Structure 1
Amino acid sequence: MTATPANDRELVLTRLLDAPRSAVWRCWTEPGLMKQWFAPKPWTTPKVDVDVRPGGKANVTMADPEGNEYPNPGVYLEVIEEEKLAFTDAYSGDWEPVEGAPFMTVVLTFEDEDGKTRYTARARHWTKEKREEHEKMGFHEGWGICADQLEALARTL
């Protein structure tokens, strides 16, 4: 199954994960679990600070193999337990605008399907150019690797 982008500013990844929805949700909302799968290996996720509620902050730091860290601050927009998680990098916690132009809003959905989880990630960008930039950065490959890592971890829970 493929998901169609809503417009020319959206990138979409959908996967049928062989893991229960509750486990996939935990992997997206518990810092200790996020650290284990969030960045495509050989990258790592050394720091995860999340307050999973509408308006709550999220700061997930990825590190490249040389140890250079890349913090990703944001805020949760919508949280529906085990169904939907939406966040953006336009704001940090307490609705403080992030300096510079925002890059994207992510909408994740989690649905039961044949005993597995239909996981869909929609990366919505403010401009077509930002979407193209994200695609050239390796959105499909990187998010695909992370989805594989997410599934592997969720299956163990």
Structure 2
Amino acid sequence: MTVEPEGKELVITRVLPAPRELVFKAWSEVEHLKQWWGPKGFKIHVAQWDFRPGGIFHYNMQSPDGHRMWGKFVYQEIVAYEKIVWVNSFSDEAGHIVRAPFSDLIPLEIRNTVTFSEINGSTTMTLCSGPINATEAERSFFEGMFESMQEGFGGTFDQLETYLAQRDDE
């Protein structure tokens, strides 16, 4: 079952100087994903990886000072080299959905769609994110965080771009 986001969505587009197959691989293979996903300076530790519709990516992010936050993707749809759809949540170590440690108004579930298209060897990657099963207050808070989320994803996608440049031989 696919659930569509409610309200306004965050949309971020980035053109990456890498072929679409390599960009997709960076998202779809855990050894690649853990090299660039998350805030700058954080290390990703993978607890569970099952890249298929209905599968789960359960991980924790460790800050440079040792603080850990858990997160979880539940994949909904995967079209090789074209699209990945997942619901993202904060979680506990057991994988149960929990509130974000920094705000009670962050929606519990965010539906994300990332699409990939290639032109002349470069890949246009577009991420669309929106809350699902959210209260009006949560939707409003999410929409108020767009600028902050653009900065956060900008840093994460900078890491992806650097990682892809290092993997150019594949």
TM superposition score normalised by structure 2: 0.75
Poorly superposed stretches of 4+, deviation over 6 Å:
none
Residue pair 1:35, 1:48 contacting (<8 A) in 2 also: no
Give the deviation of 1:129 after TM superposition: 2.0
Residue pair 1:29, 1:50 contacting (<8 A) in 2 also: no
Partners of 1:53 and 1:23 lie apart in 2 by 18
**Aligned amino acid, residue 66 of structure 2:** G
- Identity among equivalent positions (%) equals 30
Residue pair 2:6, 2:131 contacting (<8 A) in 1 also: no
**Aligned amino acid, residue 64 of structure 1:** S
Match of 2:130 in 1: 124
Match of 1:73 in 2: 72
The correspondence for 1:113, drawn from 119, 131, 135, is 119
| Unpaired runs of at least 5, structure 2 | 100-106, 133-137
Partners of 1:51 and 1:134 lie apart in 2 by 30
1:77-116 mapped onto 2 (5 Å cutoff):
77-89=76-88, 98=97, 102-116=108-122
Partners of 1:99 and 1:148 lie apart in 2 by 28
Residue pair 1:11, 1:123 contacting (<8 A) in 2 also: yes
Distance 1:69 1:133, change over 3 A: farther
Distance 1:71 1:99, change over 3 A: closer
| Unpaired runs of at least 5, structure 1 | 1-5
Report how many aligned residue pairs link the two structures.
148
Residue aligned with 1:89, SS: strand
Distance 1:48 1:25, change over 3 A: farther
Q: Deviations over 1:87-115 (max 9, x none)?
A: 0036x9xxx98356633110000111232
The two structures, once aligned, show a CA RMSD in angstroms of 2.6
Distance 1:153 1:76, change over 3 A: same
1:7-86 mapped onto 2 (5 Å cutoff):
8-47=7-46, 49-86=48-85
Residue aligned with 1:65, SS: coil
Residue pair 1:74, 1:88 contacting (<8 A) in 2 also: yes
Mean alpha-carbon deviation: is it higher for 73-82 or for 46-55?
A: 46-55
Give the deviation of 1:71 after TM superposition: 1.1
Q: Deviations over 1:55-79 (max 9, x none)?
A: 1112132122211111112310000
Mean alpha-carbon deviation: is it higher for 108-117 or for 36-45?
A: 36-45
Distance 1:113 1:130, change over 3 A: farther
Distance 1:49 1:154, change over 3 A: farther
